[in-house]
Structure 1
Amino acid sequence: MRETDNWVDRFDAALRSVAQHLGANIVLQAPFDLTPGQVFLLHLIKTEEHCTVSQLAEKMEVKPSAITVMLDRLESRRYIERFRDQQDRRVVIVQLTETGSDVLQKIWNLRKRVVGYCLNQLDGEELTVFIQAFEKLARIAADLDVQQFISTINDEEKRGNRDGNHT
């Protein structure tokens, strides 16, 4: 195993653990009876302001019917409201209610406290280096054309197999 593979394995394990403990677990343990998917959907609705069911389905990479089921639950709790677009009555607009905004803010505040506690376990220099490196990694990932990168890897593998190099 190459050293890079070891770093990738360690990074993946750490990222999964952090995402689970500082993401999903916070939502599941919070006293709001929401799923991580519902919180993510509320966050999308807040970010997009007046968005359509189709836009939400596209962003969550699910069918509109799956979004409709989630929206039904959120609407029954008065976290969101839906209404028809005035120009095109077929289009359903979704927006966050004040109640939905309040619960999202409470979850965000709770998460900030939990994440803040964890970050405060690092000393000043560790925290600075970690945040700077993580922000840099985020920029690199955002700038990476993944489709092009994968295409390049596939091309290299095809050339390697043609040349008798099997990896």
Structure 2
Amino acid sequence: MYDEQETISIEKSLRYIASHVRVNGREILKHHDISPLQFVALQWVGDKDGITIGELANRMYLAHSTTTDIVDKLESGNYVKRNRSEKDKRLVLVSMEDKGKEIIQQVIDKRIDYIAKITAHLSEAEREVLPGALEHVLKESERISYE
């Protein structure tokens, strides 16, 4: 177990790294008609193809009306589309269009390139342990989050 100062340091490092990776990847958005908030919504739609506006609003911690506006803009830009659920015709589901998939892939590619650059100077031992350690921390965070 880490002491308090080590835990504070880890939290700060994770927060800053996540922010730097996110900002670097979002440079791609400057070449498209999509805002960072719209991109977050697009990511959620990509993670669960066939998401309702209500689910999306909950995941983004936004009002239903605000989320509807975001989806309207994404749909008008051909990033997403709305469809009636096959199982329950009352539900309208938001799903990804090819244009949405393409922009997400561009951002991910930029993030991967950035991560390769910031980890290039790690020692061989550090490079070997980092992916496994991060995967373990991620799994534990998911386990604790969903208990």
Q: How far does residue 85 in structure 1 lie from its aligned partner after superposition?
A: 3.8
Matching of residues 122-141 of structure 1 within 5 Å: 122-141=122-141
Larger Rg: 1
TM-score (normalizing by structure 2): 0.82
Q: How far does residue 121 in structure 1 lie from its aligned partner after superposition?
A: 2.4
Structure 1 stretches of 5 or more lacking a match?
148-167
Aligned match of 1:102? 102
The C-alpha deviation readout for 1:13-69, integer Å capped at 9, x for no partner, is 111210111013421x22335333322221221221122111212222333222112
Residue 5 of structure 1 pairs with residue 10 of structure 2: no
Quick one: which amino acid aligns to residue 135 of structure 2? E
Distance 1:25 1:81 in 2: 27
Aligned match of 2:21? 22
The C-alpha deviation readout for 1:113-154, integer Å capped at 9, x for no partner, is 11122122212211222222222222222222687xxxxxxx
Q: How far does residue 10 in structure 1 lie from its aligned partner after superposition?
A: 0.7
Residue 57 of structure 1 pairs with residue 77 of structure 2: no
Contact 1:24 1:36 in 2 (8 A): no
Number of residues of Structure 1 aligned to a counterpart in Structure 2 = 143
Quick one: which amino acid aligns to residue 88 of structure 1? K
Q: How far does residue 80 in structure 1 lie from its aligned partner after superposition?
A: 0.8
**Percent of aligned pairs with the same residue?**
23
Higher RCO, Cα 8 Å, sep 6+: 2
Runs of 4+ in 1 over 4 A off after TM superposition: none
Matching of residues 15-164 of structure 1 within 5 Å: 15-27=14-26, 29-30=27-28, 31-85=31-85, 87-89=88-90, 91-144=91-144
Quick one: which amino acid aligns to residue 98 of structure 2? E
